[in-house]
């Protein structure tokens, strides 16, 4: 290219980043990737290749981890864990050393990432690597602060972590930094396409003085990942596809392993007619063409207000024409290579299979590249509007009103992120809370930081990574759990009942007492075998009715904390007025004095009434010209299987915790002592609680648990039951990846904050603020 050419075209010339240092580093390791176990490299094999997707050249041979490798890594992690958990300050120093060494080797990490993944060097250098480093700095701080700020929490133990190929180093940092900070040790499995930066990281761990066994890295594919899931670990933290997330939910069901899932998305990018259009177009470049669109939170679904759609699409196409696509090592490149020909084939098949709307594409070079693509005129239900493409493909539709924008935005099984573009702050802040997403960016997109929790709702998974909220996923309460025993109901001592009146306690659905759909009931006896009455046996249809009632009570979620507090106090007052009666009832049912239980129940109601308007969110200081508002939102519809032993307290405590935060709840009463419910109905009926906010069923826990776990309109299932239903609930929950909180056969004594955390979801709303 001559100077004249340059002046004529004003085109960028190539500005290639050198790959020689990265290749030399690989050569020093014989171009082979082994496992890093107990502070040492294992003998490596060339089981499969990792290649540069931009050129197809093989970079290294990779060892596929076997179950024996996983077991060795887990054993090393287990051995190292107690010592590692001892001193937060020591951990802080090690994490700080990792951050400093990553900074020192930042260029090597960035080039290695680009070679292995195909992402533009500009992104690997300016985004992935600095963000990964920031994660270690930030979490060095959390390690230092743990003892003072989280005195009631401790490490989980050994964490198995499985990461995808789209942000190999960044995802590694998101997983390893918080786990280590909280005193856990880890076994990490990188994705098969992109093991190389994890290898550099292992080298950095050795230099940083990470004790042997604290960080273990086992290379391999899905089979290796599956072996890690079933190994003797205390937690699985997974980022990847929803399909694999579902499998992992099923595989860990009933094992007591903690689980966090960061899965797919189809995040809406909403542009209102008063938006700064040029900024919104530029934002889209970062939303969907960042990392070739291989981003779980990519703004992949464009919703434009009808009046500006044509102008907006025209500007967008002009911008697309200017995107430079090619050699990822070229510093002038906007769009690099797709991670692997398999992924390229998947994107190509999805786009070419589409028969709707209009497709606009720019050009891509030969090889593993896919051109920036815009498909307009799709209906909200179109396949491409619903399914994750995971490529540089933007699908678009229009809307007329803000209400319609929210409706289309939420018309998805996912709920990871959303962007709202408007110059009207009232509009933007009205819309943000209405979007079903874990993260909302106002006039921005794809912003992430170690100080703000990242994660979704619905089928985008559960758990948060980053910020104070992320620490919960790597810690547990310091209480020791005791086994919970099932309590068998008392049987009949024989003879006939003297009272001929029908005393069958009904169900409580939608604020009314309802007969069970099946028409069945069963007798309840006192410890001496005397008949106390009958209770209804709820079936699947009754549960469905309760869910309908919860759906009809959504207004509760919008009510103020002040109102919810008043109602909880009122319930406490009404319950207190009937305290003697309730205590007697408990004595009749259980044979034990009920006086303390009644007192504790009133106490619990006061506690959650108190919290109803005080469980504040946080304002995260993120390094942008803005803040991230970490808001506590209600989870939605919660089904609870109540504990056996304390029929009143075990029913009212989860109820109070759930509704104090704005959830609607369906409680399945204590299995051996269900007859308490008749008294509760009357108290609820006189306490101004809107119908449907609380529904109460009686019946067989084992029968109802599977139905509750699989119901798509239930957002969370909790179980404190003495009946062994934890596995059924966790397995069934994989259907829509609802949240679960189950006792796994142990008796748990949650603190108020544990209840509140389970009853809420954190939504981070990023808003521009100040300068």
Choose, by CB under 6 A, the member of 191, 215, 472, 742 that binds ligand NAI. 191
Instruction: Name the residue nearer to ligand NAI (CB basis): 112 or 602.
Output: 112
Is 262 annotated as catalytic? yes
Is residue 380 part of the contact set for ligand NAI (CB under 6 A)?
A: no
Which of the stretches 157-165, 433-441, 607-615, 669-677 binds ligand NAI when contact is defined by CB under 6 A?
157-165
Choose, by CB under 6 A, the member of 114, 197, 239, 764 that binds ligand NAI. 239
Which of the stretches 188-196, 198-206, 587-595, 661-669 binds ligand NAI when contact is defined by CB under 6 A?
188-196
Distance CA 365, CA 495 (A): 88
Choose, by CB under 6 A, the member of 229, 333, 450, 609 that binds ligand NAI. 229
Number of residues that bind ligand NAI (CB under 6 A): 26
| Least spacing, CB of residue 240 vs ligand NAI, in Å | 3
Choose, by CB under 6 A, the member of 52, 161, 166, 184 that binds ligand NAI. 166
Which of the stretches 51-59, 175-183, 220-228, 538-546 binds ligand NAI when contact is defined by CB under 6 A?
220-228
Distance CA 632, CA 762 (A): 5
Choose, by CB under 6 A, the member of 234, 388, 679, 761 that binds ligand NAI. 388
Residues contacting residue 174 through CB under 8 Å, at least 6 positions apart: 135, 239, 454, 465, 466
Is residue 221 part of the contact set for ligand NAI (CB under 6 A)?
A: yes
Is residue 263 part of the contact set for ligand NAI (CB under 6 A)?
A: yes
Contact 370, 148 (CB under 8 A): no
Which of the stretches 62-70, 129-137, 184-192, 636-644 binds ligand NAI when contact is defined by CB under 6 A?
184-192
Of 320, 576, 268, 620, the closest CA to residue 432 belongs to: 268
Which of the stretches 186-194, 282-290, 609-617, 669-677 binds ligand NAI when contact is defined by CB under 6 A?
186-194
SS3 state of residue 385: helix
Of 695, 761, 684, the closest CA to residue 510 belongs to: 695
Label the pairing between strands 58-62 and 461-462. Answer: unpaired
Choose, by CB under 6 A, the member of 79, 107, 247, 315 that binds ligand NAI. 247
Instruction: Name the residue nearer to ligand NAI (CB basis): 263 or 505.
Output: 263
Instruction: Name the residue nearer to ligand NAI (CB basis): 288 or 705.
Output: 288
> What sign does the dihedral 712-716-721-725 (CA atoms) show?
positive
Q: Which of residues 116-155 bind ligand NAI (CB under 6 A)?
A: none
> What sign does the dihedral 320-628-119-349 (CA atoms) show?
negative
Instruction: Name the residue nearer to ligand NAI (CB basis): 271 or 296.
Output: 296
Label the pairing between strands 461-462 and 475-477. Answer: unpaired
Q: Which of residues 340-379 bind ligand NAI (CB under 6 A)?
A: 343, 346
Residues contacting residue 721 through CB under 8 Å, at least 6 positions apart: 641, 642, 643, 644, 668, 671, 701, 705, 743
Is residue 225 part of the contact set for ligand NAI (CB under 6 A)?
A: yes
Distance of alpha carbon 728 from the chain centroid:
21
Of 35, 40, 34, 33, the closest CA to residue 213 belongs to: 40
Distance CA 229, CA 234 (A): 10
Q: Which of residues 288-347 bind ligand NAI (CB under 6 A)?
A: 296, 343, 346
Q: What angle do CA 344, 242, 439 make, to 5 degrees?
A: 100
Choose, by CB under 6 A, the member of 113, 123, 192, 327 that binds ligand NAI. 192
Is residue 729 part of the contact set for ligand NAI (CB under 6 A)?
A: no
Q: Where are the beta strands (DSSP E) in 8-99?
A: 32-33, 36-37, 40-41, 48-51, 58-62
Instruction: Name the residue nearer to ligand NAI (CB basis): 298 or 524.
Output: 298
Of 17, 113, 123, 262, the active-site residue reads 262
Is residue 390 part of the contact set for ligand NAI (CB under 6 A)?
A: yes
Task: Give strand pairing partners of 717.
Answer: 639, 740
Tell me the residue number closest to ligand NAI, measured at CB.
Answer: 225
User: Virtual CA dihedral for 599, 604, 606, 608, nearest 10 degrees?
Assistant: -170
Contact 287, 298 (CB under 8 A): yes
Q: What angle do CA 743, 638, 161 make, to 5 degrees?
A: 55
Which of the stretches 94-102, 189-197, 606-614, 673-681 binds ligand NAI when contact is defined by CB under 6 A?
189-197
Catalytic residues: 262
Interface positions with ligand NAI (CB under 6 A): 162-166, 189, 191-192, 221-222, 225-226, 229, 239-241, 244, 247-248, 263-264, 296, 343, 346, 388, 390
């Amino acid at each position: 290219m001559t100077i004249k050419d340059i002046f004529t075209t004003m085109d960028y010339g190539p500005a290639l980043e050198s790959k020689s240092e990265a290749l030399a580093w690989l050569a020093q390791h014989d171009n082979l990737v082994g496992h890093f176990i107990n502070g040492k490299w294992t003998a490596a094999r060339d089981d499969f290749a990792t290649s540069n997707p931009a050129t197809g050249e093989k970079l290294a041979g990779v060892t596929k981890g076997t179950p024996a490798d996983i077991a060795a890594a887990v054993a090393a992690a287990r051995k190292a864990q107690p010592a590692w958990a001892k001193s937060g300050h020591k951990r802080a120093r090690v994490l700080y050393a990792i951050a400093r060494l990553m900074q020192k080797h930042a260029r090597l990490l960035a080039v290695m990432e680009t070679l292995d993944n195909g992402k533009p060097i500009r992104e690997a250098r300016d985004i992935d690597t600095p963000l990964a480093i920031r994660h270690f700095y930030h979490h060095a701080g959390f390690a230092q602060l743990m003892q003072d700020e989280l005195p009631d929490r401790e490490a989980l133990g050994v964490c198995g972590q499985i990461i995808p190929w789209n942000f190999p180093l960044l995802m590694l940092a998101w997983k390893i930094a918080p786990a280590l900070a909280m005193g856990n040790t880890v076994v990490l499995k990188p994705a098969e396409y992109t093991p190389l930066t994890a290898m550099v990281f292992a080298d950095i761990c050795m230099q940083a003085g990470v004790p042997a066994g604290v960080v273990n890295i086992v290379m391999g594919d899905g089979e290796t990942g599956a072996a890690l899931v079933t190994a003797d670990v205390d937690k699985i933290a997974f980022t990847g596809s929803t399909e694999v997330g579902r499998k992992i939910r099923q595989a860990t069901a009933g094992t007591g392993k903690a689980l966090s899932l960061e899965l797919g998305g189809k995040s809406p990018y909403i542009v209102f007619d008063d938006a700064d259009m040029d900024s919104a177009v530029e934002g889209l470049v970062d939303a969907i063409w960042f990392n070739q669109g291989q981003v779980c939170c990519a703004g992949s679904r464009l919703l434009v207000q009808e009046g500006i759609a044509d102008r907006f699409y025209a500007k967008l196409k002009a911008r697309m024409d200017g995107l430079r696509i090619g050699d990822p090592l070229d510093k002038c490149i906007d769009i690099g290579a797709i991670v692997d020909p398999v992924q390229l084939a998947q994107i190509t098949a999805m786009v070419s299979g589409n028969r709707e709307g209009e497709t606009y594409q720019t050009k891509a070079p030969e090889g593993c590249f896919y051109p920036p693509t815009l498909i307009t005129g799709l209906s909200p239900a179109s396949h491409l509007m619903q399914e994750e493409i995971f490529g540089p493909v933007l699908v678009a539709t229009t809307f007329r009103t803000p209400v319609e924008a929210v409706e289309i935005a939420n018309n998805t099984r996912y709920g990871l992120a959303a962007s709202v573009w408007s110059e009207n702050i009232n509009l933007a802040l009205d819309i943000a809370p209405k979007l079903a997403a874990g993260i909302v960016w106002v006039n921005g997109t794809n912003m992430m930081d170690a100080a703000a929790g990242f994660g979704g709702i619905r089928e985008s998974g559960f758990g948060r990574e980053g910020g104070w909220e992320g620490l919960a996923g790597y810690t547990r309460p310091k209480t020791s759990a005791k086994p919970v025993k099932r309590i068998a109901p008392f049987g009949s001592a024989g003879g006939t009942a003297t009272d001929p009146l029908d005393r069958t306690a009904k169900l409580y659905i939608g604020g009314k007492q309802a007969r069970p759909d099946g028409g069945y009931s069963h007798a309840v006896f006192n410890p001496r075998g005397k008949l106390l009455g009958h209770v209804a046996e709820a079936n699947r249809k009754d549960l469905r009715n309760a869910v309908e009632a919860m759906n009809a009570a959504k207004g509760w979620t919008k009510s103020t904390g002040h109102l919810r507090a008043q109602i909880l106090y009122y319930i406490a007052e009404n319950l207190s007025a009937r305290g003697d009666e309730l205590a007697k009832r408990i004595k009749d049912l259980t044979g034990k004095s009920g006086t303390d239980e009644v007192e504790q129940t009133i106490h619990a109601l006061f506690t959650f009434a108190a919290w109803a308007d005080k469980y504040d969110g946080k304002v995260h200081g993120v390094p942008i010209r803005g803040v991230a508002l970490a808001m506590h939102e209600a989870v939605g519809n919660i089904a609870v299987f109540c504990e056996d032993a304390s029929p009143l307290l075990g029913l009212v405590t989860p109820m109070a915790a759930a509704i104090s935060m704005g959830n609607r709840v369906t409680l399945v009463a204590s299995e051996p002592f269900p007859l308490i419910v008749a008294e509760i109905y009357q108290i609820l009926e006189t306490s101004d609680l809107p119908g449907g906010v609380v529904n109460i069923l009686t019946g067989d826990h084992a029968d109802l648990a599977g139905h509750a776990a699989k119901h798509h309109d239930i957002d969370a299932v909790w179980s404190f039951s003495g009946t062994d239903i934890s596995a059924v609930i966790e397995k069934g929950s994989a259907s829509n990846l609802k949240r679960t909180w189950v006792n796994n056969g142990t008796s748990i004594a949650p603190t108020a904050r544990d209840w509140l955390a389970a009853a809420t979801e954190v939504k981070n709303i990023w808003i521009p603020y100040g300068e």
